[in-house]
Amino acid sequence: MGSCIICGTSVDGRICDLHEEDVVFEFRGNHPNQLTVDRYYRGTVDGYAEFGVFVDIGDSVTGLLHRSELDQRLESLDWDPGDTVFVQVQQVRDNGNVDLAWSIRQSEGEFRGTLVDDPSEGAPFVADEDTDDGGHDEGNGHATEADPGAEAGGGAEDPPAAEAVAGADSGSAAAASGTSGGVVEVEEPTLVDIETLGDRVGETVRIEGVVESAHQTSGPTVFEVRDETGAVDCAAFEEAGVRAYPETGADDVVRLDGEVRERRGDLQVETEALVLLAGEEREAVQRRLADALEAEADPGAVDPLVEDTVVADLSEAVRAAATAVRRAVLEERPVVVRHAATADGYTAGVALERATLPLVRDQHDQRDAVYHYFDRRPLEESVYDMDDATKDVTEMLDARERHGEKFPLFVFVAVGGTRESLDGFELLDLYGAGRVLVDDVEVDPEVATAVDAVVAPDGPAASETTATSLSAAVAAGVSGDVRADLSHLPAVSFWEDAPEGYVEAAAAAGYDADVTREVREAVALEAFYQSYEDKRELITDLLFGDGDGPGGLAGHVSEQFRTKLAAEVETAEANLDHQTLDDTTIAVLDTDAFTHRYEFPPTALLLDELHRRHRDSVDAVIGVADDELHIRSDTPVDVRDVADRARDWVPNAGVTARSARDGKLEYVAGERSAVLDTVVDIVADEVA
């Protein structure tokens, strides 16, 4: 009878069943059938094949480490014949073939002991027993028969934390030092910050944090645990390919004890015990992490790109929105920007894209992280409805199920400011997805409470800014390094009357009035085509130059814009129906009859242009189609009030305000004539 070299338990041999997988064996047999399945063995690389690596176990047995068992591509292995490797025996076949599995531990110092597997001697014995004096092996830090509790970094008085005695507190991975009732209790590891682990290699420590991910390898289960100072991979072994701690997954809060080791230049904790935290303990850890994350994400005071009183008045809101975006990146949470498919919407979305992508690159190693962790998804209209929200929820649930992704932060730019978007926001809220709103309209109170952060002007200030001006300020808070890159974007977003400060900033960046106009027109044209696509590289070329200097590509595309718009405006102007009521003139365009449907320009942009050209002679422009109507006027017109009044006059028309922001009404096609007559009268009354 002997003692387990790990825990000292009396066993028939030198290792108990519980700890056999914590040691590596040196094989001295001469036949595959003498190997023990599930044991780890030291071997040497014999050679390569298309399907894996042949490894010699001892002098007389060779096994196959199949490529499917490796944690990297076969061709990327830097093993040479004769190199020492550590493998696990998975199976010994009837024909003598030996199937091997990869060991996450690839140095002898990462195991907790070394034993000799010599079939002629019966039970295994300590590797250096024939040369050592029976005491502690100072050469490799492994336990020996005479000192069963000793390990690297510790002695008999400091046994591993995982060997807590029965009856220890279920919230702890080990009991306090001392004795009780004749049972030896072991000392609990010290709770440490993850950022200090580099100074604790070889020590058994305790960490508390949130599980970022859980990944099952062919050997151990690897949990990525994050506290307020950093993150580390923690390997937990049940048996080869079997999930350890199956009840633990992403977003769980845990207390974990284990030994700090260095593997291929990276730190890793070999898990000895893991406990799920609940109640006040869980809340305390979450609060600690949240406070630290918020402090790290907060950019501090954010200065406007130029002197702009509208942006300056929203400085705290800008800071909060920038903090939310930065925090999402730090949490490795995708950022999804939902913006209008307009020149202003695209430009505003790209401002955030320009600031966020460098942070994503810094946070993630993989080359395609900028496509996984940042996405722009344009919307054809400024309402975020249930169709849009359902699509987003479906995608985020699929990403979580298939790839373990966290739910994203949604940033709404030039969309969602009115209560017509409430249903969509509420669906996101049911899943706890973050929501930030950046808009150049006065946001409805219900919307302000349905999102986490709002950057939007109040009252008259809404007519003095654009979504891009506000979004660029937020982007400067997300990353101050891109301020210079963004300096011309606000000027691009104004169709007329751009503030002088933004005009001068654009000119200083090489974008004079003509180039700014060309860029705006080019983005507006490309926003229409494939409007649901982000067109990341194309829009970037238009907004930031394509290598031929500012205006090269944009100048070419803007010519198409002007040609197409001029042809449509000419047709529309020839068919405007001017109606005069009590000195108020309303210009009405039948957009079904006198525009090319599904061709550029879209109805909203065409009506905007007609309004700009005819504002001196008409008080409002109305575009009417089979089941929708758009209103344009310099005098503010509340389309919800128009809809309410129209329902009184045409009760069976189903008149509703589709988008208060866009001045759009919807109704049933059969009542089109009655609705038009009614709306013309109401608008004439409101703008008089």
**98 plus 17 within the same structural domain:** yes
Q: What helix, strand, coil percent values describe the chain, rounded to 5? A: 40, 25, 40
pLDDT computed for residue 657 by the predictor: 94
* HSE-CB for 39 with a 13 A CA cutoff: 25
In a domain, 530, yes or no: no
Contact yes or no for 541/553 (Cβ under 8 A): yes
Q: Greater confidence, 148 or 71?
A: 71
Contact yes or no for 534/540 (Cβ under 8 A): no
Nearest one of 47, 29, 49, 134 to 92, comparing CA atoms: 29
- DSSP states along 504-550: HHHHHTT--HHHHHHHHHHHHHHHHTTTTS--HHHHHHHHH--SS-T
In a domain, 358, yes or no: yes
According to DSSP, the residues that pair with 681 across neighbouring strands are none
Mean local confidence (pLDDT), 17-36: 88
Report residue 506: phi and psi, to 5°. -65, -45
**478 plus 623 within the same structural domain:** no
In a domain, 521, yes or no: no
| Domain CATH for 661 | 3.10.310.20
**263 plus 330 within the same structural domain:** no
Domain range enclosing 144:
2-158
Q: Which amino acid is at 221?
A: T
What 8-state DSSP symbol labels residue 569?
H
**136 plus 198 within the same structural domain:** no
- Give the count of domains, the chain: 4
pLDDT computed for residue 150 by the predictor: 37
**108 plus 251 within the same structural domain:** no
Mean local confidence (pLDDT), 28-36: 91
**319 plus 421 within the same structural domain:** yes
Give the number of other Cβ atoms within 10 Å of residue 101's Cβ. Answer: 22
In a domain, 35, yes or no: yes
Q: Greater confidence, 58 or 161?
A: 58
User: Any idea which of 8-17, 431-440, 514-523 has the lowest mean pLDDT?
Assistant: 8-17
Give the pLDDT band of residue 163 (cuts 50, 70, 90). Answer: very low
Task: Say what percent of the chain tops pLDDT 90.
Answer: 67
Average pLDDT, the chain: 87
pLDDT computed for residue 143 by the predictor: 42
**259 plus 349 within the same structural domain:** no
**579 plus 676 within the same structural domain:** yes
Distance CA 193, CA 206 (A): 9
| Most confident stretch, 89-93, 101-105, 246-250, 422-426 | 422-426
Tokens at 346, concatenated: 């695209």
- DSSP states along 467-501: HHHHHHHHHHHH-GGGHHHHTTHHHHH-SS---HH
pLDDT computed for residue 168 by the predictor: 35
Domain boundary (260, 291, 322) is at 291
Nearest one of 128, 139, 91, 114 to 42, comparing CA atoms: 114
| Domain CATH for 366 | 3.40.50.10490
In a domain, 512, yes or no: no
In a domain, 516, yes or no: no
Mean local confidence (pLDDT), 639-651: 96
**28 plus 112 within the same structural domain:** yes
Tokens at 70, concatenated: 């490796």
pLDDT computed for residue 459 by the predictor: 79
Residue 70 burial (C-beta neighbours within 10 Å; 0-12, 13-18, 19+): middle
Distance CA 545, CA 26 (A): 64
pLDDT > 90? residue 595: yes
Tokens at 369, concatenated: 């992280």
Domain boundary (138, 158, 178) is at 158
pTM of the model: 0.69
Give the pLDDT band of residue 49 (cuts 50, 70, 90). Answer: confident
Q: 548-566: per-residue pLDDT in tens?
A: 545 589 999 999 999 999 9
pLDDT > 50? residue 148: no
Contact yes or no for 624/590 (Cβ under 8 A): yes
Give the pLDDT band of residue 17 (cuts 50, 70, 90). Answer: confident
Contact yes or no for 486/351 (Cβ under 8 A): yes
Contact yes or no for 611/621 (Cβ under 8 A): yes
**31 plus 151 within the same structural domain:** yes
**314 plus 269 within the same structural domain:** no
Please report which residue ranges of 275-421 form alpha helices under DSSP H: 279-297, 309-313, 315-330, 343-363, 369-372, 386-403
In a domain, 518, yes or no: no
CA 488 from chain centre, in angstroms, equals 28
User: Any idea which of 5-9, 233-237, 488-492, 641-645 has the lowest mean pLDDT?
Assistant: 5-9
pLDDT > 60? residue 478: yes
Contact yes or no for 474/318 (Cβ under 8 A): yes
pLDDT > 50? residue 146: no
According to DSSP, the residues that pair with 585 across neighbouring strands are 580
Q: 356-405: per-residue pLDDT in tens?
A: 999 999 988 777 889 889 999 999 999 999 999 999 999 999 998 888 78
Q: Taking CA 473 as the corner, what is the angle to CA 469 and CA 474, rounded to the nearest 5 degrees?
A: 120
User: What's the CA dihedral at 655, 660, 663, 665 to 10 degrees?
Assistant: -10
In a domain, 525, yes or no: no
pLDDT > 60? residue 607: yes
pLDDT > 70? residue 266: yes
**46 plus 136 within the same structural domain:** yes
pLDDT > 80? residue 270: yes
Domain boundary (243, 266, 291) is at 291
Which helix H or strand E contains 98, and what residues bound it?
strand 98-102
Give the pLDDT band of residue 71 (cuts 50, 70, 90). Answer: confident
Nearest one of 13, 92, 5 to 57, comparing CA atoms: 92
Q: 487-537: per-residue pLDDT in tens?
A: 999 999 999 999 999 999 999 999 999 999 999 999 999 999 999 999 999
| Domain CATH for 221 | 2.40.50.140
